[in-house]
Structure 1
Amino acid sequence: MASVEVSINGRFYRIACEDGQEQRLIRLAGSVDEKVSSLVEQVGQVGDTRLLVMASLLIADELDDAKQGSVNGGGNGAAAAAPAQNQATIAALSALAERIEHIADGLENA
Structure 2
Amino acid sequence: MATVTVEVNGRPYAVGCADGQEQRVQMLAGLFDTHVRQVAGEVGHVGDIRLFLMAGLMLADELHEARQGLPVVEVPGAPTNDGVAEALNAVAARLEKIVQGL
Q: TM-score band, normalised by the shorter chain?
A: 0.7 to 0.9
Indicate the SS of the match to 1:15. strand
TM-score normalised to the size of structure 2?
Answer: 0.73
- Residue 65 of structure 1: how far off its partner (Å): 1.0
Superposed CA RMSD: 2.7
- Runs of 4+ in structure 1 off by over 6 angstroms are none
Structure having the higher helix fraction is 1
TM-score normalised to the size of structure 1?
Answer: 0.68
Report the counterpart of residue 21 of structure 2 in structure 1.
Answer: 21
Does the alignment pair 1:45 with 2:29?
no
Structure 1 residues 107, 50: closer, same or farther in 2, change over 3 A? farther
Residues 21-79 of structure 1: CA distance to partner in whole angstroms, max 9, x if unpaired? 0000000000000001111110111100000000111111111111212139xxxxxxx
Report the counterpart of residue 68 of structure 1 in structure 2.
Answer: 68
Measure, in 1, the Cα distance between the counterparts of 2:60 and 2:93: 14
Check whether the contact 1:2–1:18 (CA below 8 A) recurs between aligned residues: yes
Say how many residue pairs are matched. Answer: 90
Q: Which has the higher contact order (CA 8 A, sep 6+)?
A: 1
Identical pairs, percent: 43
Q: How does 1:93-104 map to 2 (within 5 A)?
A: 98=88, 101-104=92-95
- Residue 104 of structure 1: how far off its partner (Å): 4.0
Measure, in 1, the Cα distance between the counterparts of 2:42 and 2:15: 27
Check whether the contact 1:39–1:51 (CA below 8 A) recurs between aligned residues: yes
Q: Which runs of 5+ in 1 are unaligned?
A: 73-82, 84-90
Measure, in 1, the Cα distance between the counterparts of 2:60 and 2:92: 10
Measure, in 2, the Cα distance between the counterparts of 1:26 and 1:41: 22
Report the counterpart of residue 77 of structure 1 in structure 2.
Answer: none
Does the alignment pair 1:4 with 2:4?
yes
Task: For 1:34, give the aligned amino acid.
Answer: T
Measure, in 2, the Cα distance between the counterparts of 1:28 and 1:62: 14
Q: Which runs of 5+ in 2 are unaligned?
A: 74-80
